[in-house]
């Protein structure tokens, strides 16, 4: 099976046993949403294993449900090829689309990014990124990346869209206490670059473009106990 995953500038051949046919068909369908180009690698999928072997370009997964296999393949590709990508700046963040524009959630582990993503998707927002955001430094648009959570069934995958909102998120755990406040471009810039997964993708010109894009975006810092408080900031 030949497939393309262009966010990572990679092109794949998958070899798999017959009992994974449904899983790989689903994975090909998922990957079909995403832009692609360049390179070729060989990925092998076999029974009774569940590991990624980057040195030999092999992915081994257990023959579980199609969604779990597809999600595992997505995570493996992201973790290995993401840091090597050159065409896109990749950030540890999540993103959704709203009325033709992108919303990015940047935060540390357990900051509430996944909860925000699931909540916004339930509200009809388009899917862009689950834990890794791809930003084209040449045009300032956010591109969709592969989901890594098997819970995201029936996704409405957005086409590439310009950035409009950036939220530096932190979860408080106290639903009675939520703060959503505006911030300056430099704070958003510092947090975004701290969460950049492939620094080589941004030259001096690319960093200048990132700052320009962030300067024209709406930027917020949150300490929220309920994801709906962040939703209110978008819909106000």
Domain ranges of the chain: 2-84, 89-235
Domain 89-235 CATH (choose: 3.40.50.620, 3.40.720.10, 3.90.228.20, 3.40.47.10)? 3.90.228.20
Distances (CA, A) of 185 to 112, 192, 210: 22, 10, 10
Q: Is 162 helix (H, G, I), strand (E, B) or coil?
A: strand
Q: What is the 3-state secondary structure (H, E, C) of 37-55?
A: CCCCEEEECCCCCCEEEHH
Question: Could you report the per-residue pLDDT of 91-136, keeping only the tens digit for each?
Answer: 989 999 999 999 999 988 777 788 888 889 888 888 888 888 989 8
Query: Which tokens sit at 19?
Result: 């009992």
As a whole number of Å, the end-to-end CA separation of the chain is 47
Which position has the higher pLDDT, 189 or 46? 189
Instruction: Determine the pLDDT at residue 83.
Output: 75
Instruction: Determine the pLDDT at residue 198.
Output: 85
Instruction: Determine the pLDDT at residue 121.
Output: 87
Whether pLDDT at 61 is above 70: no
Q: How far is CA 158 from the centre of its chain?
A: 12
User: Which neighbouring-strand residues pair with 101?
Assistant: 98
pTM for this prediction: 0.72
CB atoms < 10 A from the CB of 19, how many? Answer: 9
Instruction: Determine the pLDDT at residue 13.
Output: 61
Q: By the 8 A CB rule, do 105 and 57 touch?
A: no
């Amino acid at each position: 099976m030949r497939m393309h995953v262009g966010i990572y500038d990679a092109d794949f051949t998958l070899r798999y046993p017959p009992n994974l046919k449904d899983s790989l068909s689903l994975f090909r369908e998922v990957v079909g949403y995403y832009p692609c180009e360049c390179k070729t690698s060989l990925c092998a999928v076999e029974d009774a294993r569940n590991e990624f072997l980057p040195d030999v370009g092999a992915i081994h997964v257990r023959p579980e449900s199609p969604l779990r296999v597809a999600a595992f393949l997505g995570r493996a590709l992201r973790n290995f090829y993401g840091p090597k990508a050159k065409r896109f700046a990749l950030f540890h963040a999540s993103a959704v689309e709203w009325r033709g524009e992108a919303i990015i959630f940047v935060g540390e582990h357990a900051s509430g990014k996944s909860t925000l993503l699931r909540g916004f998707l339930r509200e009809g927002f388009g899917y862009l990124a689950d834990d890794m955001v791809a930003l084209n430094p040449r045009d300032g648009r956010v591109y969709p990346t592969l989901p890594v959570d098997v819970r995201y069934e029936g996704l409405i995958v957005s086409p590439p869209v310009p950035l409009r909102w950036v939220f530096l998120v932190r979860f408080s755990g106290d639903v009675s206490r939520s703060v959503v406040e505006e911030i300056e471009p430099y704070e958003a810039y510092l947090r975004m670059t701290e969460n950049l997964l492939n620094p080589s993708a941004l030259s001096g010109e690319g960093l200048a473009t990132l700052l320009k894009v962030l300067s024209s975006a709406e930027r917020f810092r949150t300490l929220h106990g309920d994801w709906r408080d962040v939703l209110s900031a978008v819909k106000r």
